């Protein structure tokens, strides 16, 4: 039996997610929006019976057992932690800070019987599933270098909002870079231990964002990661990532893994490979074709990945008769809240590096920092 679903968010992802859920047999019982008007509009558009701007109305809805959270990052932690505490399964997007991510991890550990996964859809894209399998089988030999390029139009909303504010989780690094960081960890089965990065905001104002308001979120980001292998002779895998969102009318999504005996390249939704000594690339996995509606705001790799993720969720819940019970197998590739904490830690290390100009270590927090730490230090200095 499939669980009833409550959706938080009225943006482009929510508008795509609801029809995909319904197509797989899920019933979407409730939707939350930041205003009654937003929630009502989406509910009418997608045929959702209940809408509200009060989060508790969705979380306490008797027919909702799975909560999908696609809202601004600064609000994600509050809803996710509360949903788990009430006994709901949770699928959500990234949080705004590593501290928020740590609180989500703590809640997930306290309720291990509940589903708690991050919504990075790239892991579910068939091209990356095939790439990971080929890497395990040794297609490229020993992995040496990963190179990622993502180019596209501006990520800013039409009006001033969270996408313009770096502190609220806006910007290319947090919005797109986080999914790339997670993907590289999934493909290489390793984690970054040192990073170096550069962030820039080239478009600080435009025709809709002007006056006293300025954009602080990055629209260009370049960073390097050293992943795994700290004690090995090779020193692990070297990764470079370039994100540029100053290219209207175009979209490039390319992930290349180079090894000692060959390379694999995912371009969009297709996978290519070339072994050392061969004359050219071979197509290993073609585009299966997208039969759903095109979504301007969501690139095809994310769109197809989202569709595959929803199918995996159906298989996971279908394996049990109880609506809240789920099987781990079909969603084993999904990133956990622990993965989300790692990703956010890397993001913040890249930001520190951009400010310092130095390589920064990636140190995942093991306990929540004391919010009064600075105050306590000041009091201790005064006392001495």
The string of DSSP codes covering 97-166 is SHHHHHHHHHHHHH-TTS-EEE--GGGGSHHHHHHHHHHHHTTTSSEEEEEEEEE-S----SSSSGGG-G
Residue 110, phi-psi category: left (phi > 0), alpha (psi -120 to 50), beta (remainder) = alpha
Percent pLDDT > 70 in the chain is: 94
pLDDT at residue 372 is higher than 90: no
Q: Provide the token pair at 295.
A: 């979504």
Q: Which of 27-31, 149-153, 213-217, 236-240 has the lowest average pLDDT?
A: 213-217
Residue 268, phi-psi category: left (phi > 0), alpha (psi -120 to 50), beta (remainder) = left
pLDDT at site 380: 61
Q: What is the mean pLDDT of residues 110-117?
A: 96
Q: How confident is the model at residue 384 (pLDDT cuts 50, 70, 90)?
A: low
4 secondary structure, DSSP code: P
Q: What is the mean pLDDT of residues 49-59?
A: 97
pLDDT at residue 373 is higher than 60: no
Q: Which of 63-77, 232-246, 269-283 has the lowest average pLDDT?
A: 232-246
pLDDT at site 240: 98
pLDDT at site 364: 96
Q: What is the mean pLDDT of residues 113-126?
A: 96
pLDDT at site 246: 92
Q: Provide the token pair at 119.
A: 């919504």
CA separation for the pair 149, 253 (Å, rounded): 6
pLDDT at site 96: 94
Task: Please state, as a whole number, how many other Cβ atoms lie within 10 Å of the Cβ of residue 23.
Answer: 13
Q: Provide the token pair at 153.
A: 């139009």
Q: What is the mean pLDDT of residues 186-206?
A: 93
Q: Please give the domain boundaries of the chain with CATH numbers for all domains.
A: 4-121+300-337 (3.40.50.720), 123-285 (3.30.360.10)
pLDDT at residue 231 is higher than 60: no
Sheet containing strand 50-52, edge to edge, reads 50-52, 28-32, 5-8, 66-69, 89-92, 116-118
Looking only at the bridges linking them, the beta strands covering 262-267 and 270-275 are antiparallel
The answer to whether 132 and 187 are in contact (CB under 8 A) is: yes
Q: How confident is the model at residue 360 (pLDDT cuts 50, 70, 90)?
A: very high
pLDDT at site 283: 96
How high is the mean pLDDT of the chain?
91
174: helix, strand or coil: helix
3 state SS for 10-44: CCHHHHHHHHHHHHCCCCEEEEECCCHHHHHHHHH
Percent pLDDT > 90 in the chain is: 77
C-alpha 320: how far from its chain's center? 27
When computed from its CA atoms, the radius of gyration of the chain, rounded to whole angstroms, is 21
Q: What are the strands, taking DSSP E only, across 168-228?
A: 192-200, 220-227
Q: How confident is the model at residue 301 (pLDDT cuts 50, 70, 90)?
A: very high
Task: Please state, as a whole number, how many other Cβ atoms lie within 10 Å of the Cβ of residue 189.
Answer: 13
Name the residue among 90, 88, 92, 85 with its Cα closest to residue 120.
Answer: 92
pLDDT at site 136: 97
Residue 72, phi-psi category: left (phi > 0), alpha (psi -120 to 50), beta (remainder) = beta
Handedness of CA 187, 12, 331, 195 (dihedral sign): positive
Name the residue among 164, 172, 171, 246 with its Cα closest to residue 210.
Answer: 164
Name the residue among 189, 69, 173 with its Cα closest to residue 131.
Answer: 189
pLDDT at residue 370 is higher than 80: no
Q: What is the mean pLDDT of residues 98-123?
A: 96
Residue predicted with more confidence, 297 or 163: 163
pLDDT at site 161: 82
Q: What is the mean pLDDT of residues 123-133?
A: 97
pLDDT at residue 361 is higher than 80: yes
Q: Give CA torsion, residues 323, 326, 330, 334, to 10 deg.
A: 110
The answer to whether 178 and 343 are in contact (CB under 8 A) is: yes
pLDDT at residue 218 is higher than 70: yes
Q: Which of 16-30, 120-134, 252-266, 312-326 has the lowest average pLDDT?
A: 312-326
pLDDT at residue 374 is higher than 70: no
Q: What is the mean pLDDT of residues 301-306?
A: 94
Q: How confident is the model at residue 377 (pLDDT cuts 50, 70, 90)?
A: low
Name the residue among 291, 74, 269, 52 with its Cα closest to residue 161.
Answer: 74
């Amino acid at each position: 039996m499939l669980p009833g679903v409550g959706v938080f968010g009225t943006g482009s992802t929510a508008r795509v997610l609801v029809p995909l859920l319904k197509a797989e047999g899920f019933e979407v019982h409730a939707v939350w929006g930041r205003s009654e008007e937003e929630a009502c509009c989406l509910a009418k558009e997608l045929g959702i019976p209940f809408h509200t701007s009060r989060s508790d109305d969705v979380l306490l809805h008797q027919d909702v057992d799975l909560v999908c959270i696609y809202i601004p990052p600064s609000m994600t932690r509050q809803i996710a932690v509360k949903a788990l505490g009430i006994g709901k399964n949770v699928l959500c997007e990234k949080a705004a800070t590593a501290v928020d991510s740590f609180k989500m991890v703590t809640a997930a550990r306290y309720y291990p019987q509940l589903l708690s996964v991050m919504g990075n859809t790239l892991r579910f894209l068939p091209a990356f599933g095939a790439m990971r399998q080929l890497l395990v089988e040794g297609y490229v030999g020993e992995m040496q270098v990963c190179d990622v390029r993502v180019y596209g139009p501006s990520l800013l909303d039409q009006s001033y909002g969270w996408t313009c504010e770096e502190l609220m989780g806006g910007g290319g690094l947090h919005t797109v870079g986080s999914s790339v960081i997670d993907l590289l960890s999934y493909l290489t089965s390793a984690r970054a231990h040192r990073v170096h990065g550069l962030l820039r905001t080239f478009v600080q104002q435009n025709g809709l964002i002007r006056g006293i308001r300025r954009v602080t979120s990055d629209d260009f980001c370049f960073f390097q990661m050293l992943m795994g292998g700290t004690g090995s002779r090779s020193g692990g895998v070297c990764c470079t990532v370039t994100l540029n969102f100053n290219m209207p009318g175009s979209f490039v999504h390319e992930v290349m893994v180079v090894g000692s005996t060959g390379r694999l390249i995912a371009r969009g939704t297709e996978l290519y490979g070339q072994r050392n000594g061969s004359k050219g690339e071979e197509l290993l996995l073609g585009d299966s074709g997208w039969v759903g509606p095109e979504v301007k705001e969501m690139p095809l790799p994310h769109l197809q990945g989202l569709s595959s993720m929803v199918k995996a969720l159906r298989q996971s819940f279908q394996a049990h008769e109880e609506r809240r019970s789920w099987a781990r197998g079909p969603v084993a590739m999904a990133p956990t809240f622990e993965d989300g904490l790692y990703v956010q830690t890397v993001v913040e290390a890249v930001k520190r590096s951009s400010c310092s100009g130095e390589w920064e270590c990636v140190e995942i927090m093991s306990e929540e920092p004391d919010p009064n730490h600075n105050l306590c230090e000041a009091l201790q200095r005064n006392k001495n």
